[in-house]
A and B are shown apart, each in its own frame.
Chain A
Amino acid sequence: MSEMLVLGDEALALGAIDAGLAVAYGYPGTPSTEILEYIQRYTNKNESEIIARWCTNEKTAYEGSVGVSYAGKRSLVTMKHVGLNVAADAFMNSALIEINGGLVLAVADDPGMHSSQNEQDSRYFADFARIMCFEPRNHQEAYDMTIEAFHISELFHIPVMLKLVTRLSHSRSIITRNKTLPVTDLGTATDKLKWMSLPALSRGNWKNLLNQQEEFEQYSVNSSFNKLSLNKDFKNFGVITTGLGSNYYLENLEDLPIKPSHLHIGVYPVPAELIKKLAQNVDSLIVVEEGYPFVEKMLNGIIKDTLPVHGKMNGALPAFGELNPDNVRVAIGLEERKNQGSDSTSLPGRPPQLCAGCPHTDSFRALNVALENYDTHIVTGDIGCYALGALPPHSALDALLCMGASIGMARGASEAGRKNVVASIGDSTFLHSGVTALIDAASTNTNMTLIIMDNSTTAMTGMQDTIMTSPMIKNIVLACGVDPDHLRELKVLPKNHDENTKTIKEEIDYEGLSVIITLRECIHVVGKIRGEIK
């Protein structure tokens, strides 16, 4: 037993390490990145045999972890919530195979969209796949639940989801650790019929999974992470909390004159039996959930409209953004706390921006000047630091959807008859999910220009190495079928501005597919290398 001060992400990482983890895979994405980074630091420092690697994208990471499970060892796969969309094919189907070595999916949601383009709630994905999900509300639970999740994965032979949110991922607190279990080897899976997604086999495997649901719910009802406390002397209202909603409720609890009955749900499927017990004891329910109103929506099926329910669906709590101690306080009927007031609304905002000296600023400057030659043009953007090119002073982007979409969207806009269409994407995101769209564009020699802003790192999430080095990216572009005469490389330095602008214009003018790779290392990578040499 030892105490450690760690991030929520790191508590989860330590849980996996102490559970006898063999292999961890992932793709960086705020707020999940620090999980795999911690395991990498841990293995380096302790000369551990654990393998922890970044992958090309979340799908390849997930598939890798399924392979580890097949081989009989414990595996962790990490990603942010929108990353699970990318891995969804592998994830959904992995629920139907007979998981062998424990497989835990750590996915970090971002309510409030601190660093994301939506606030989708991953509990729906766990429910969609009909698997179990653990939702820690503090660091110790993140640690303990991870260890339990590996156990459950092997017990029920299913992948298990561990769902974090930004405020836990990026909060520090103290955990108590158990001892580290050695890596166990269960041996390679032997029953082929349980390991192949073929319709004839999947029908049987799906039935088995459906039959298991009752067992999952029984586990949920009995789990110490799902806790019902009844106060038979207070009927007015009862409270259901999930995730961090519980913390904000408890923060305000001492100001309530009497403690209401309370059910906290930390493990899914939803423990319907406990909800019914709570409902029988109260006249109304307040549901405090971080994320979507997931449990709240299910209540109608469980308690059949017998009680008034207050939550995100009737406006008692905001459906948008994060919960906090203040909005939960009002929802449970308490007065707002007195404070010194603030005129913060009169202050200008301070949005994030590209760093001083960032190579992307030179790319956007050259692009913007080149575009001045045309009456109409479209620039699609992508996910990464260069998405900040959408903001002043550059205001260079017209549309931005998801990882890799800049290329497919540009192709579509061009084929819809628009001229001077440019896609902009970073090196890591290009490899993540841009390559396939480039193959599409090359197959029809679509009239568009792709700018790959290659800064030799995954910068936004904290300088993880790109899966492939710059010279290899050029080879990939050519192998996709791009005409070598229209693959241009630019060194993006302020002194090359005029020359770069001219090259970009030439390629926009070319009637066909062209690719421009703008090269210069991220200023933080340069700093990192210098730091290592020192």
Chain B
Amino acid sequence: MADKYDIILSGVGGQGVLSVAAVISIAAMKDGYTLRQSEVHGMAQRGGAVLAHMRVSKTTIASDLIPKGSAEVVLSMEPMEALRYVDFLKPGGKLISAAAPYENIPNYPDLDMIHEKINSLKSSRIIDAKAIAKESGTMKAVNMVMVGALSAELDIRKESIIAAIKEKFALKGEKIIEANLKAFELGRISNSNKAEGAEK
């Protein structure tokens, strides 16, 4: 079992980046990790670029911020935002991004070019999170699809993440919990090595 993970979570304000961080945090705690998770509140949340640093470790963590060149994973809810943080990846680190763009700026670059750049990285995967969320029963579960995809890269126990999702959505009712759990499962499969388009 790895004793330390540095994960960069990115997206646009309102995409549920902080919920991804919350679920991973709760699950990591259940597995006996300590953690530091830096997030963005306030002005930056209003439709702007959002970045969270998530560090889980079996030993003391000094810094809230992840050093450049240290992250095991950059997980992004949005492809252009994914590219913004590639320099956080350590050599051999993996970039995982949702496929669909969030176009709230007039000068959004050509999407094919963005996807191409992501695919040109040594280790990367683009997940069609919207389609998977739809299949799970709620478009709101896109972020849990991404939790699933991320979880395939971590040694955090699957049961711990499932329990964390149940906790996170406890007040939202059975139906919502079920849809989010399904989104998680399908997201996890979409990034498992057996799935199509495996490691390059």
- The interface bits of chain B over 12-37 (1 if a CB of A lies within 8 angstroms of the residue's CB, else 0) are 11000000010001100100001111
Q: Please tell me which stretch of B85-93, B139-147, B149-157 contacts chain A, meaning at least 4 of its Cβ atoms lie within 8 angstroms of it.
A: B85-93
Interface residues of B in 41-100 (CB under 8 A from A): 41-49, 61-70, 80-81, 83-91, 93
Question: Counting CB contacts under 8 A, is A2 at the interface?
Answer: no
B28 to chain A, nearest CB (A): 10
A485 to chain B, nearest CB (A): 37
B142 to chain A, nearest CB (A): 18
By a CB distance below 8 angstroms, the chain A residues around B12 are 350
The answer to whether B29 and A344 have CB atoms under 8 Å apart is no
Asked whether A353 and B47 contact (CB < 8 A) given A114-B40, A244-B64, the answer is yes
CB nearest neighbor in A for B46 = A352
Most buried by A among B61, B65, B91, B93: B65
By a CB distance below 8 angstroms, the chain A residues around B89 are 339-340
Interface size, chain A (Cβ < 8 Å) = 48
CB nearest neighbor in B for A346 = B109
B166 to chain A, nearest CB (A): 16
By a CB distance below 8 angstroms, the chain A residues around B43 are 30, 114-115, 352, 388, 460
Interface residues of B in 120-169 (CB under 8 A from A): 121-122
By a CB distance below 8 angstroms, the chain A residues around B64 are 167-168, 171, 244, 247
A-B contact pairs, 25 of them (CB 8 A): A31-B42, A33-B42, A114-B44, A170-B41, A172-B21, A172-B35, A244-B63, A247-B62, A325-B66, A325-B67, A337-B90, A340-B121, A342-B86, A342-B87, A347-B84, A348-B107, A349-B105, A350-B47, A350-B49, A350-B81, A352-B13, A353-B48, A354-B47, A388-B43, A460-B42
Chain A residues in the interface with B (C-beta under 8 A) = 5, 30-31, 33-34, 114-115, 167-168, 170-174, 244, 247-248, 250-252, 324-326, 329, 336-344, 347-355, 385, 388, 392, 460-462
Instruction: Count CB-based A-B contacts (< 8 Å).
Output: 160
**Which of B47, B62, B63, B109 contacts A348, CB < 8 Å?**
B109
The answer to whether A172 and B46 have CB atoms under 8 Å apart is no
By a CB distance below 8 angstroms, the chain B residues around A385 are 46
The answer to whether B86 and A350 have CB atoms under 8 Å apart is no
Asked whether A173 and B35 contact (CB < 8 A) given A353-B46, A355-B46, the answer is yes
CB nearest neighbor in B for A80 = B42
By a CB distance below 8 angstroms, the chain B residues around A388 are 43, 46
**Which of A324, A344, A348 contacts B86, CB < 8 Å?**
A344
The answer to whether B41 and A247 have CB atoms under 8 Å apart is no
The answer for the CA separation of A5 and B29 in the assembled complex, in Å, is 9
The answer for the CA separation of A344 and B39 in the assembled complex, in Å, is 20
Asked whether A170 and B107 contact (CB < 8 A) given A344-B86, A353-B47, the answer is no
By a CB distance below 8 angstroms, the chain A residues around B105 are 348-350
The answer to whether B69 and A339 have CB atoms under 8 Å apart is yes
The answer for the CA separation of A491 and B3 in the assembled complex, in Å, is 57
CB nearest neighbor in B for A252 = B67
The answer to whether A171 and B40 have CB atoms under 8 Å apart is no
Asked whether A174 and B35 contact (CB < 8 A) given A347-B84, A352-B46, A355-B46, the answer is yes
The answer to whether A247 and B63 have CB atoms under 8 Å apart is yes
The answer for the CA separation of A326 and B65 in the assembled complex, in Å, is 10
By a CB distance below 8 angstroms, the chain B residues around A348 are 80, 105, 107-109
Q: A343-B117, A344-B84, A350-B80 are in contact. List 15 more A-B contacts (CB 8 A).
A: A5-B26, A31-B41, A170-B39, A170-B40, A171-B39, A174-B34, A247-B62, A324-B63, A339-B86, A339-B91, A342-B83, A347-B84, A349-B105, A352-B48, A392-B106
By a CB distance below 8 angstroms, the chain B residues around A337 are 67-70, 90
By a CB distance below 8 angstroms, the chain B residues around A247 are 62-64
The answer to whether B85 and A344 have CB atoms under 8 Å apart is yes
The answer to whether A171 and B83 have CB atoms under 8 Å apart is no
